[in-house]
Amino acid sequence: MIGKLRGIVDSYGADYIILDVGGVGYQVHCSPRTLQALPATGEAATLSIETYVREDQIKLFGFASDLEREWFRLLQTVQGVGAKVALSVLGTLKVSDLAAAVAMRDKAAISRSPGVGAKVAERIVTELKDKAPAYANLDPAAVHLAGSVDEKRAPKPVMDAVSALVNLGYGQPQAAAAITAASRSAGETADTATLIRQGLRELAK
């Protein structure tokens, strides 16, 4: 099986690249994000490869890193997620953002991917919660709080403060992380207004 290709960019298609490796042109399908990051025609490029072998075809999928390829594999362990949807998710979110979205149960971020509805996004954050590789640099307490907020178990001032920051335009993961830090510094008895003020200071750092 092909695991990596290093060659010269021959040409680009709508969703693939032709990579010339020693005179052999490999058609490699990539997400829009990966395609945009690749160099111009005639320049050298390296891609991590996932090889699909079917009765009627062999298809290559290319990724900017081994970690991105791992996420491609992992996403397809979720019911209703095939190669097309997995590429769509990786084309919409950077690996670090996808890891954060899964860790923080941010279904809205994942559902921004074309072809990903609310039910599929819910399955992704639920089924990959304990499987996902390296959740980026996230505070474990923020991850826990995000789950609590999602499940409506957090104290009301905390939930209200997170909701207020989201209404101000911050993403749910960022809001949850900021309020986690605010809650630690302000104490468990802090009211909503105090948490919001402290949360905004955290976001401004």
- The verdict on residue 135 lying in a domain is no
DSSP 39: -
Examine the fold and report which residue of 15, 30, 63 is the final residue of a domain before the chain moves on: 63
Does 52 lie in the same domain as 94?
A: no
CATH number, domain with residue 52: 2.40.50.140
What pLDDT score was predicted for residue 135?
44
- The verdict on residue 132 lying in a domain is no
Can you tell me the distance from the alpha carbon of 76 to that of 95, in angstroms, rounded to the nearest whole number? 15
Mind giving me the DSSP string for 127-146? HSTTT-S---S--HHHHHHH
Query: Structural domain of residue 13, as residue ranges?
Result: 4-63
Examine the fold and report which residue of 63, 85, 103 is the final residue of a domain before the chain moves on: 63
Q: What percent of the chain has pLDDT over 70?
A: 88
- CB of 6 within 8 A of CB of 21? yes
Does 96 lie in the same domain as 75?
A: yes
What pLDDT score was predicted for residue 153?
57
- The verdict on residue 87 lying in a domain is yes
Mean pLDDT score, 4-16: 96
Q: Answer yes or no: is pLDDT of 5 > 50.
A: yes
Please count the structural domains in the chain.
Answer: 3
Does 41 lie in the same domain as 80?
A: no
Q: Residue 134: pLDDT band by 50, 70, 90 thresholds?
A: very low
Does 149 lie in the same domain as 123?
A: no
Examine the fold and report which residue of 63, 80, 110 is the final residue of a domain before the chain moves on: 63
- Its pTM stands at 0.67
Mean pLDDT score, 3-11: 96
Q: Residue 54: pLDDT band by 50, 70, 90 thresholds?
A: confident
Give the lowest-confidence range in 48-52, 151-155, 186-190, 200-204: 151-155
